[in-house]
């Protein structure tokens, strides 16, 4: 079964516990997904491997970027249910504050859905959703 088909099946069951089996990168990054109403929340569970600056300690910027990208991809897969997994074209990340050594959450919304390109806006936060640690604009190619 394709990744898109597996994501569709998980959404229909309302159970994303197999996410890390379906998307190995999600397992590597410690990601999980849950649906709350129409919103899909991606969680990057804290691990020492995610730390970039051990003195502060702060999450590595690449891990924050990765959770924003994956939240966008999961939102597309679950909301738009494309025939094939979209390919990333560009990602622009705005880092707003250091990511602490704790779980990080991310959501994404489509800002434009075309026939070939989807533009997404993703937000990552930790303790307070109103204080994001980073946001991203992500563009995907559908075909």
**In which residue are the tokens 């597309």 written?**
76
Residue, of 52 and 96, whose pLDDT is higher: 96
Domain with residues 3-141, CATH architecture: Roll (3.10)
In the chain the first and final C-alpha atoms are separated, in Å, by 19
Residue, of 27 and 121, whose pLDDT is higher: 121
Q: Where does the pLDDT of residue 113 fall: very low under 50, low under 70, confident under 90, or very high at 90 and above? A: very high
In this structure, are residues 108 and 80 in contact, taking their beta carbons and an 8 Å threshold? no
> How high is the pLDDT of residue 1?
62
41-66 average pLDDT score: 92
> How high is the pLDDT of residue 85?
86
Going by the DSSP 8-state scheme, the letter that residue 16 receives in this structure is: -
* Token pair belonging to 19: 């996410």
15 pLDDT more than 90: no
């Amino acid at each position: 079964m394709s990744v898109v088909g597996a994501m569709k099946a998980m959404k229909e069951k309302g159970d994303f516990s197999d996410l890390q089996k379906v998307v190995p990168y999600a397992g590597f990054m410690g990601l999980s997904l849950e649906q709350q109403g129409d919103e899909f929340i991606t969680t990057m569970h804290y691990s020492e491997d995610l730390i970039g600056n051990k003195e502060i300690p702060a999450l590595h910027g690449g891990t924050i970027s990765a959770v924003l990208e994956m939240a966008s991809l999961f939102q597309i897969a679950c909301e738009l249910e494309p025939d094939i997994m979209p390919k990333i074209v560009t990602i622009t990340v705005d880092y707003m504050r250091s990511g602490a050594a704790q779980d990080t959450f991310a959501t994404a919304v489509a800002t434009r859905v075309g026939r070939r390109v989807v533009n997404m806006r993703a937000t990552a936060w930790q303790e307070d959703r109103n204080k994001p640690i980073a946001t991203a604009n992500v563009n995907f190619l559908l075909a």
